[in-house]
């Protein structure tokens, strides 16, 4: 079709002219109609040959796309990745997802916000590629990683405690404290810290997610205690009138989450590569035991 000559086609393919002629005869026998007719020294494609050629181009392009797709999946460059996470994921994951997506524009990322309890219960049903959840974990949970970091105190830069190097329960007694709800593991730990210091524990606001607590601080509702990574991410994204400061909280309270995978099957290449990026993102904030 391109060269209008069996001899030139043979030269382009690196085979003999009789091999090209024989291949054409076999193809005509298979399809049941003539593909070329001779005019002088050239062969001229029939109308049916033009139609078949167009279909062949589309089919070959499909094979090429299939090969590209297979190569992309193998290299972790394309596919669909579904991640479930409780509150921390709202703050942690956007930066990681953005970088991951820039490097792999053919991927689709689905982020599901679920409670830790839901993540722990649904991971076995393969509802997502992997999930992030707070303890407790049982023997049915396949925990790939554990991230432990400290709780920090976040407040407006203009707050009365902003000049303190460390924030303690007694300093917070006269200030509005925003904390995650009693269903979260950190609530009991903070309550015990206040009790140990002889300071009344009366949070002004309880909420489900660290992201909500941080937004409340930005709007001037008080100060909050959140994990170090959520605090750092929010600090990076705020400035001007909404500028925040982060101070260590003492006594030290540790916040922990685990990365869970489905019980059956292995992680996809795409999921493995995302977790490597997440590891790098979280690493500077981890407590080394």
* Domains detected in the chain: 6-74 (1.10.10.10), 78-147+255-285 (3.40.190.10), 149-254 (3.40.190.290)
Radius of gyration of the chain (CA): 31
Mean pLDDT of all residues in 40-66: 77
How many C-beta atoms lie closer than 10 Å to residue 201's C-beta? 17
Best CA proximity match to 33, nearest among 15, 12, 47: 47
Q: Which 3 state secondary structure label does DSSP give 196?
A: helix
User: What gap in Å lies between CA 262 and CA 279, rounded to an integer?
Assistant: 19
User: Is the preceding omega at residue 134 within 30 degrees of 0, hence cis?
Assistant: no
Quick: pLDDT tens for 258-285.
999 988 888 889 999 999 999 999 999 9
CB-side exposure of 174: number of CA atoms within 13 Å?
4
pLDDT at position 117: 87
Mean pLDDT of all residues in 213-221: 94
31 or 155: which leads in pLDDT: 155
pLDDT-derived band of residue 106, with 50, 70 and 90 as boundaries? confident
DSSP result, 139-156 = TT-EEEEEEEEEEEEEEE
pLDDT at position 144: 93
38 or 109: which leads in pLDDT: 109
Quick: pLDDT tens for 235-263.
888 866 578 999 999 999 999 999 999 88
Mean pLDDT of all residues in 168-177: 96
Best CA proximity match to 270, nearest among 49, 144, 104, 125: 104
Query: Percentage of the chain with pLDDT > 90?
Result: 50
The packing angle between helices 228-237 and 210-218, to 10°, is: 40
Contact of 149 with 229, CB cutoff 8 Å = yes
pLDDT-derived band of residue 221, with 50, 70 and 90 as boundaries? very high
Tell me if the pTM is above 0.75: no
DSSP state of 223: E
User: What gap in Å lies between CA 207 and CA 216, rounded to an integer?
Assistant: 10
């Amino acid at each position: 079709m391109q060269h209008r000559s069996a001899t030139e086609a043979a030269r382009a393919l690196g085979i003999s002219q009789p091999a090209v002629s024989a291949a054409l005869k076999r193809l005509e026998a298979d399809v049941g109609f003539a593909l070329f007719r001779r005019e002088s020294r050239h062969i001229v494609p029939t109308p049916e040959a033009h139609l078949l050629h167009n279909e062949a181009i589309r089919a070959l392009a499909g094979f090429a796309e299939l090969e590209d797709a297979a190569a992309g999946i193998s290299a972790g460059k394309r596919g669909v990745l579904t991640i479930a996470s409780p509150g921390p994921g709202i703050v942690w994951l956007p930066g990681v997802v953005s970088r991951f997506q820039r490097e792999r524009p053919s991927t689709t990322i689905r982020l599901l916000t679920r409670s830790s309890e839901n993540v722990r219960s649904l991971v076995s049903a393969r509802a997502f590629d992997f999930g992030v959840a707070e303890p407790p974990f049982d023997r049915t949970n396949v925990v790939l990683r554990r991230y432990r970091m400290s709780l920090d105190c976040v407040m407006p830069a203009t707050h009365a405690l902003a000049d303190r190097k460390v924030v303690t329960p007694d300093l917070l007694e006269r200030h509005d404290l925003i904390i995650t709800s009693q269903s979260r593991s950190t609530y009991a730990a903070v309550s015990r810290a206040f009790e140990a210091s002889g300071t009344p524990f009366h949070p002004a606001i309880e909420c489900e997610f660290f992201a909500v607590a941080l937004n409340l601080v930005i709007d001037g509702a008080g100060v909050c205690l959140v994990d170090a990574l959520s605090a750092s991410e929010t600090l990076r994204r705020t400035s001007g009138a909404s500028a925040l400061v982060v101070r260590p909280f003492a006594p030290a309270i540790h916040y922990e989450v685990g990365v869970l995978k489905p019980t059956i099957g292995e992680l996809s290449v795409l999921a493995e590569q995302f977790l490597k990026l997440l590891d790098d993102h979280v690493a500077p904030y981890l407590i080394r035991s």
